Amino acid sequence: MTDHTDPLHWTGPYMNWNTRCAECHSTNVEKRYDAATRSFDTRFSEVDVSCEACHGPGAAHLKWLEAGSDDTVPGAGFPVALDQRGDWAFVDGAAIAQRLEPLNSNTQIDSCGRCHSRRGTLGEYHYGMPLLDTHRLALPESPLYHHDGQIRDEVFVYGSYVQSKMHQAGVVCSNCHESHSLQLRAPANGVCAQCHQAAVYDQPEHHHHPAGSTGAACANCHMPETTYMVVDPRRDHSMRIPRPDLSVVMGVPNACNQCHQDQSAEWALAAVRDWGMRLTDTGSHPGRALQHLEQGKLQATPSVQALAADSTATPIMRATALSALGQAGAGLPPETQALLRSPEPLLRMGAVRSLSNTSLQQRYGLLQPLIADPVTSVRLAVAENLAPVPLAQIPEEQAEALRAVFAEYVAIAQEHADMPGTQLQLGMFLLNRGDLPAAEKAYREALYLNPQLLPARLNLADLLRVMQREDEARSELQTALEIAPNNSAALHSLGLLETRAGNRAVALDYLRRAAEQETEGTRHRYVYAIALHDSGEQNQAVSVLEALQRRAPGNADVLLALVNYTANSGDRERARHWAKLLVASDPGNRNYQALQQQLGGP
Ligand code: HEC
Ligand code: HEC
Ligand code: HEC
Ligand code: HEC
Ligand code: HEC
Ligand code: HEC
Ligand code: HEC
């Protein structure tokens, strides 16, 4: 149990009603946080979710009622028209109904998504604007989601719903949920039968379970439940087809085994094959490419690039692919420039994030036109990417535009100065701006608000290192290890710190533990191998690198080290073998080709 001295306790700064709850559980909330005194002067018009939370200010609606409720007025006088259910029909006896007029805005789902999504808030709420304008939406990335996009942590509804084919086909929340009672529009499978012919789908030929049984409920197979905090069951709204094959090859869950817990994924796979299901993309599923890239397997790059460029995939998965390419520092798809101009804000934001590992000059060139993007999340992503631009070295007019977007970034962060995550992001931004003391202050505030927030502590330690305050850095890292004894990043940073301090044996031990704990990426194992080599353990260094090359084949740093170490120890044959793979990892690279030639051989 958490007691009241714990920041996660109800009365602590982190779980405070005003900070953490009011904006979704009340209406017209103004948080009014004073960072100097760390106190709130919160106001709201109603303590629960009422009309205005969804429809916006109601004064015009009241006028409309008084004037006799004219049916032709869209949205009943409310500023936001949420009525987007549309008319649906089974055209020519089709098994699935079709929307008769296309849906051309996401107003309804975006207004529900404001509360039913995993996100951070960006300043004041603007009714009717895209969700990305008012919120920083969490993309379906690990660890919040599984690599194929299924929910994992408590992420609510929106981020999974917008992955669904149904969203792409124009289905909105109110097609299934009556928006005022919040009841389903029809009981059990009836809600799906509105658009999926019961004569086709609600049949043992489709679901292979006794009619009316739990195994025959559409939602149980297509919206499996995950339970959080013991009591909160959540249905995955990506409405996907159960894929036991992906469980076998990539370890993600599937609906079948969520019920059949005593059976293996292989069993479920055999059953669906037996039912006649044909699985053609087990190997090429984009979720696998995303998983591989995150594990450091750079050969997955072309597949992730293809997902980013695939106009039939959902914008949220394409944005996730773009963001993953940026994080991995992998090559960008040729479509990147076009995606920066996409009308879909998710794609623009993804494309901006994809540039995070390119040179500052390249980023600056490409992102010019997006400094004034109409959608806040996109502008803030631009501000983060361009934070290091030296304003004194660019034309005054451009510097002025950047100053404005930087100021907006800081102003929005300050409105949410009570959120530890916001302070952490602000710290990173200020660091990139070159304001080290301000960055330190933000990290420390994040840690005051939530001492458990490890990334803030690791960043603070790194900042202290930059400011040459190594002893303070060491003490922050040791505190981090007290909170999370096996944290790979903390162990790694301590290893580097002790290396700098000349404590080689201690350093090597930390680096070894970091390498052992590394589950994603390759950096910690790579650095451990280098450290082993530098302390004379050549053979061990090579075997760590070989193991790493087996786990994450094609990583150029790893291959280059293997070439050098084996060549130095006189094993030219092994060296030639690694050099061949090195050249294959980046066929255009002349340095690699030269190295291969030096080694000679066939
Ligand atoms: C991002 C929006 C959001 C925030 C922030 C939020 N909630 Fe909720 N909460 C919801 C939604 C949406 C539901 C119900 C739907 C669901 O289960 O997804 C819910 C359900 C609940 C329920 C279940 C009872 C019921 O009426 O159904 C409780 C209790 C609750 N929240 C308490 C809290 C507390 C306490 C906080 C602050 C620590 C908080 N919530 C913060 C959105 C939020
Ligand atoms: C949880 C969000 C939510 C809340 C709270 C809510 N509504 Fe609605 N309302 C909707 C949605 C969504 C629609 C469109 C329903 C549809 O698609 O059929 C709607 C439809 C309406 C309509 C029909 C006109 C139109 O815009 O389509 C009126 C009138 C209305 N609501 C009034 C109210 C009033 C009055 C309240 C408070 C008592 C209220 N609503 C509370 C979501 C909400
Ligand atoms: C201002 C925040 C907010 C908005 C906007 C909002 N909701 Fe909710 N919703 C909540 C909260 C909080 C709860 C749970 C507590 C309650 O019932 O008040 C909830 C409950 C629900 C539930 C019931 C969940 C359950 O566990 O039974 C459904 C369904 C739902 N909302 C759908 C919608 C839809 C659809 C929209 C958009 C038309 C919408 N909500 C808009 C905050 C919001
Ligand atoms: C195709 C139908 C369908 C659509 C579209 C849909 N839902 Fe649901 N939703 C369901 C079903 C079915 C359940 C499970 C209800 C139950 O078990 O009582 C559910 C459950 C929920 C719950 C309860 C908590 C949870 O996560 O299980 C919330 C909240 C919710 N939906 C919100 C939304 C919102 C917001 C949208 C639009 C972004 C939406 N739903 C779109 C069918 C749908
Ligand atoms: C308002 C209409 C509507 C409702 C209600 C509806 N669907 Fe759908 N559903 C569609 C449409 C349209 C498609 C997309 C067909 C396409 O483009 O291939 C679809 C596709 C699907 C797919 C295929 C997904 C895929 O990845 O291939 C599944 C599964 C599905 N629906 C399940 C459900 C379930 C379960 C429910 C009830 C909880 C439901 N649907 C309710 C209209 C609806
Ligand atoms: C026991 C699990 C299970 C249940 C229950 C179930 N389905 Fe499915 N559904 C599947 C599987 C497996 C597939 C993939 C079939 C294939 O590719 O051969 C599928 C595919 C689909 C598709 C997409 C393929 C197509 O034919 O268009 C839709 C739509 C769909 N189901 C709707 C429904 C609806 C509606 C219900 C409830 C009446 C339902 N399902 C109940 C397992 C289930
Ligand atoms: C909501 C829970 C649930 C889900 C989801 C579910 N099942 Fe079942 N399944 C059952 C139950 C309960 C039975 C026993 C049926 C009966 O005789 O009433 C069963 C029976 C079976 C059987 C025959 C009996 C056996 O154990 O050999 C097979 C095969 C099977 N399920 C496969 C699947 C596959 C494959 C999926 C996913 C596509 C799936 N099930 C999804 C609950 C579920």
Alpha carbon distances (Å) from 502 to 207, 342, 353, 472, 496: 65, 51, 38, 17, 10
Quick check: CB of 137 below 6 Å from ligand 2? no
Using the structure block, give the residue that is written with the tokens 């993007």: 373
What is the reported pLDDT for 181?
94
Quick check: CB of 188 below 6 Å from ligand 3? no
Q: For 263-295, what is each residue's pLDDT tens digit? A: 999 999 999 999 999 999 999 999 999 999 988
CB 590 within 8 A of CB 583: no
Quick check: CB of 186 below 6 Å from ligand 6? no
The b/e string for 412-449 (b: 16+ C-beta within 10 A; e otherwise) is bbebbbbbbbbbbbbbbbbbbbeeeebbbebbebbbeb
Rounded CA gap, 31 and 24, in Å?
12
Using the structure block, give the residue that is written with the tokens 């909330």: 29
Quick check: CB of 537 below 6 Å from ligand 2? no
Rounded CA gap, 477 and 483, in Å?
10
Ligand 3 center to residue 181 CA distance, Å? 10
Write the residue with the smallest CA distance to atom 40 of ligand 5.
192
Does the pLDDT value for residue 60 go beyond 80? Answer: no
Does the pLDDT value for residue 2 go beyond 50? Answer: no
**Cβ count near 588 (within 10 Å):** 7
Rounded CA gap, 506 and 523, in Å?
19
Does the pLDDT value for residue 62 go beyond 80? Answer: no
What is the reported pLDDT for 602?
62
pLDDT class for 502, splitting at 50, 70, 90? very high
What is the reported pLDDT for 14?
54
Using the structure block, give the residue that is written with the tokens 């009014």: 32
Quick check: CB of 469 below 6 Å from ligand 3? no
Does the pLDDT value for residue 177 go beyond 70? Answer: yes
Structural tokens at position 125:
């709420």
Does the pLDDT value for residue 87 go beyond 90? Answer: yes
Does the pLDDT value for residue 4 go beyond 70? Answer: no
Ligand 6 center to residue 28 CA distance, Å? 41
Give every CB contact of residue 214 below 8 A, 6+ residues apart in sequence: 220, 259
Does the pLDDT value for residue 8 go beyond 60? Answer: no
What is the reported pLDDT for 539?
94
What is the reported pLDDT for 19?
64
Sign of CA dihedral 290, 295, 298, 300: negative
Please give the number of the atom of ligand 6 that sits closest to the Cα of 201: 38
Tell me the chain's radius of gyration from C-alpha atoms.
27
pLDDT class for 41, splitting at 50, 70, 90? confident
Residues 106-121: what's their mean pLDDT?
93
Structural tokens at position 37:
């005194």
Closest CA to 173 of 47, 54, 49, 314: 54
